[in-house]
Structure 1
Amino acid sequence: MKKIAIHGSAFEIGQQLGEFGREAWHQKLTLTALWQTVTAMKDADQTVAMRALVQAHYPLIWQELEGLAAGLQAPIEEVFAWNCRGDLVRSTSDGCTTVAGQRADGVLTIAHNEDGFPQLRDDCAIVSIRPDSGMAFASFAYPGSICGHTVAVNEKGVVNTVNNIRALHRPEGVPRQILARAALNAATLDEAIAILTTPPRAGSFHHTLGQMGDS
């Protein structure tokens, strides 16, 4: 598994993530049927509405997405749509698993399995990110995607593991991957829950949350 360290402004962080994933984006992701389906919806009313919500409510994450597009050398419209894939299509082929439990001595464990595109097996990484604004965190990262929608832990010890939900009802709202990224800036579990449950929300995710030192 590759390990990379990234720091800088929101745009610079996105740009470095894009550079890391550029080869896989152009040589693998763009050849998938899901990519074709999702990017065909890049100018749909639903996508445009989500884009406006992200720009208004999460400007730093929007800058991260713009940097991601620059690093990928891909149009921002396509990159944004790809990061909204679970909001735009009802069923995607990926789906992960989280197992949580407690030992007899009270120690809590959260274990997570990532189950994305098998062709990206050698193109993922564990990234350590220290933004100029916001919490530092470590996350599993897929090429072409912002962090937060897999498994991550931030500098306050907030752990977030994420699994797919194939929701039938997907109202107009903030994309699920954007909310998952925003939750990495939470200092407490209550704050993370507030971010993830604040309406309006588009797609759905299953989150398992924990925090070091919080039983």
Structure 2
Amino acid sequence: MNARIDETTVAGLRWVVVTGERIAAFTLLGEYARASITTVQKQLPEREGLHAFTRSGRGRRILADVATATEQAYPHLTAELRALAAGATLPYEDLLLANLRGDLGVDDGTGCTDLAWRGTSSFIAHNEDGAPALDGHFMLLTLHIDGDLPVTVQWYPGFLPSNTLAANAAGLVWGINHIQVTTPIAAPGRHFVARRLQQCTTFTDAVDFLRTHPSAGGFAYTIGETDTGRVAVVETAAGRHAVRELSPERAFEWHTNHIRFMPNSPDRAPADAATANLGQRDESLARGRVLEDITPALEPDVDWFDRVLTGSPVPTGVHRTAAGDDPLATLCTTVTNLTDRTIFIRNRHDRTATLSLADFVAGPPSAERSATE
């Protein structure tokens, strides 16, 4: 097989590095992570609701429209998912449905918080919130796919590696927040748009790509560039978008899981689950209220972002602990200093590490890895 996998750990997280030809690499990754892929699929809280919805006439039509648009726009990325499914010996249709779960109008919960800063230095900070049962399966994944820019992402096995935090070899870094669109459009799935975004080489290219490549569902991207220090939040949802670029005069921004910047009128803005009051309103807006009340230090540092993201849960913070009726926990916190080109990582159990962005994207030296071919 024309592919190789290496594995190590960082900050208590598994770190898998995949190198080789696209289909061979994703097939090998499916074989290698088969147990975790199976577990993650079984633990999806939306699993039963998704299957029930797509058995209905309306659900089948939406799924068919989004799947067709995805295959037509991104055939090489649906090929990646097919190869992943084949390697894991799971039906492609099951993995596709899971990857389109936020593109069908089905309630998908809330999760993740992003912070951004552009002053003397620029920062992107991200809390990755997920089901506690996925702790130990959630990992870092570095992709060295022939012909592609190298990229490292946080990865939930079984998903296209795209819907979390990502950093590529061009010096772009972004975190992603889920936006639940209540009425999707017939457009590609958001995971596939986000995976293609990883091949953009400049901040301008990335923002323009998101403006011109709609998705059926919604994501908010908090994206920055090392070369220029430029930072923006880009909301995309059901064919609409909004861009909020930071500046030294408006240096701080945040995002949780509801639309903040798109025009709020029924004929122009896609309804999201927070504003439509479909069960996510309180949780996402509560984190937003915490962040609205924050006044950053004159020039915040990595420790400041880490404290904001991990200091306490709602109502005084945004850290998630799966306590009470909250189903999610913060599985990983990252703070990227775009100016210094470093990334700080904290796992759920408070193990930490700081790496250069170059090392984070390239993956650890092979001498530190165990290898599988």
> How high is the TM-score relative to the length of structure 2?
0.54
Q: How far off its partner does 1:31 sit?
A: 4.7
**Greater shift in the superposed pair: 36-45 or 94-103:** 36-45
Unpaired runs of 5+ in structure 2?
1-12, 230-373
Please give the alpha-carbon distance, in whole angstroms, between the structure 2 residues aligned to 1:101 and 1:27: 37
2:151 corresponds to = 137
| 84-93 vs 23-32, which moves further | 23-32
State which of 65, 79, 83 in structure 1 corresponds to 2:99. 83
Q: Which residue of 2 aligns with 1:154?
A: 168
Find out whether 1:109 has 2:130 as its counterpart.
Answer: no
Which string of whole-angstrom CA distances, capped at 9 and with x for unpartnered residues, describes residues 16-62 of structure 1? 34234421333353254412222452882222222222222212111
Distance in structure 2 (CA, Å) of the matches to 1:21 and 1:36: 23
Which residue of 194, 202, 215 maps to 2:208?
194
Match of residue 35, structure 2, among 8, 23, 26: 23
Which amino acid in 2 is paired with 1:88?
L
Equivalent runs, 1:1-215 vs 2, <5 Å: 1-40=13-52, 41=54, 44-102=60-118, 106-215=120-229
The answer for unaligned runs of 5 or more in structure 1 is: none
Q: How far apart are 1:140 and its partner, in Å?
A: 0.5
Structure number with greater Rg is: 2
Is 1:179–1:195's contact at 8 Å kept on the other side of the alignment? no
Structure 2 CA distance for partners of 1:149 and 1:36, relative to 1, 3 Å: same
- Misfit runs of 4+, over 3 Å: none
Give the number of the structure whose residues are more often helix, by fraction.
1
2:185 counterpart letter in structure 1: P
1:80 maps to amino acid: L
| Contact 2:138–2:155 (8 Å) recurs in 1 | yes
Contact 1:96 1:115 survives alignment (8 Å): yes
Higher strand residue share:
2
What is the identity percentage for the equivalent residue pairs of Structure 1 and Structure 2? 27
Contact residue 124 and residue 174 of structure 2 kept, 8 A? no
Residue 172 of structure 1 aligns to a residue in which SS?
A: coil
- Contact map agreement 2:113 2:126 (CA 8 A) in 1: yes
Once residues 199 and 187 of structure 1 are traced to their aligned partners in structure 2, the CA distance between those partners, rounded to angstroms, is 16
TM-score by length of 1: 0.90
Greater RCO (Cα-Cα under 8 Å, separation 6 or more): 1
Query: What is the distance in 2 between the residues matched to 1:23 and 1:94?
Result: 26
What is the RMSD computed on CA atoms of the aligned residues?
A: 2.0
Match of 2:353 in 1: none
Q: Contact 1:38 / 1:89 at 8 angstroms: preserved in 2?
A: no
Distance 1:178 1:12 in 2: 19
Residues 100 and 110 of structure 1 are in contact (CA less than 8 Å); yes or no, is this contact kept in structure 2? yes
Equivalences, count: 213
